[in-house]
Amino acid sequence: MGETLKDRLVVTNDTKFLIVVRDFVSRCIRQSRLAREEENKVILAVDEAVTNIIEHGYDEGAEGSIEIEIEGTEEQFKVMIRDTGRVFNPESIPDPDMKDHVHRGHKKGLGIFLMRQIMDEVRYKFKDGVKNELTLVKFIR
Amino acid sequence: MPAFQIVKEKLPEGVVFLGVRGFLDAHTFEELEKAINDIFEEGIYKLVVDLAGLDYISSAGAGVFIGAIGTAQENDGNIILMKPSPNVKEVFDLLGLSQIFTFRDSRDEAAKALR
């Protein structure tokens, strides 16, 4: 059994930090057993999750923090994203009909669809009075 | 180096070329959205967007093209995308947008697709 990779990053809810989040995830993936061809996609899934929290989690102008914790093992690459913002369960959002989306010029709501397309597991948990926790898992094949 | 850059150039036959570089995400997409809206306001709806210099795109970035293509097509125009890197093309594929957008490998071919 190899060692477990563990790392953690905390950013405030500002899109300027997305680049920091992506660099962090990229660094972790390169230290993990995850195949290199999955790198861009898994970075994207985490970016989409964090973007959703920045855009919808907090009231305009309110500062909040977002914690990204990564655990990599022989079997899986797991990302836990926690925030103390508004309760938001992505499981409640249906997949978009892309032709209709384009026809109507809808630009939003694609992030959750991408997360589901990319990751093997997307789980949401609300810890009462504490925080939202979204877990994204990619199995190592 | 800025996270995102746009180069704009007018081509013959009422076509505008946009070269985009860097990262197109929730932090930078508004810059591209504004550039495209400004072009539409000039009454130009034929766009060639060169993605070769784009290192990364998220759904916020792809959303700019989703929002704009309908307006372009309703005005007898279109948005032709050029030379995405494999990582960027992968995002269009994942979103199911590769069947909706036209991709070309050169400016000439892209301009031809707009005639």
Q: Please report the ipTM that was assigned to this predicted complex.
A: 0.94
Burial annotation B78-109 (CB, 10 A radius, 16+ → b, else e):
bbbbbbbeebbbbbbebbbbbebbebbeebee
The average confidence (pLDDT) of chain B is 96
Residue B6 has pLDDT above 60, yes or no: yes
| Chain A contact for B64 (CB, 8 A cutoff) | yes
Q: Of residues A100 and B111, which shows the higher confidence score?
A: B111
Least confident piece of the model among A41-55, A92-106, B74-88: A92-106
The partner residue sitting opposite B59, judged by closest CB among A22, A48, A54, is A48
pTM of the model: 0.94
- pLDDT band of residue A99 (cuts 50, 70, 90) is confident
Q: What is the per-residue pLDDT across A40-75, written as a single tens digit (0 to 9) for each? A: 999 999 999 999 999 999 988 899 999 999 999 999
From chain A residues 58-87, the ones with a CB under 8 A of any chain B CB are none
**Mutate: best of A18, A25, A29, partner B, most B CBs <10 A:** A18
pLDDT at A105: 78
* CB under 8 A, 24+ apart: contacts of A97-105: A98/B95, A98/B96, A98/B97, A98/B100, A99/B100, A101/B66, A102/B66, A102/B69, A102/B70, A102/B97, A102/B100, A103/B70, A104/B70, A105/B66, A105/B67, A105/B68, A105/B70, A105/B71
Q: For residue A94, name the pLDDT band (cuts at 50, 70, 90).
A: confident
Better-predicted residue by pLDDT, B36 or A96 = B36
What residues of chain B, 12 to 31, have a C-beta less than 8 Å from chain A?
A: 23, 25-27
Of all residues in chain B, what percent carry a pLDDT higher than 70? 99
What is the Cα gyration radius of chain A? Answer: 15
Find residue B19's DSSP bridge partners. Answer: B7, B50
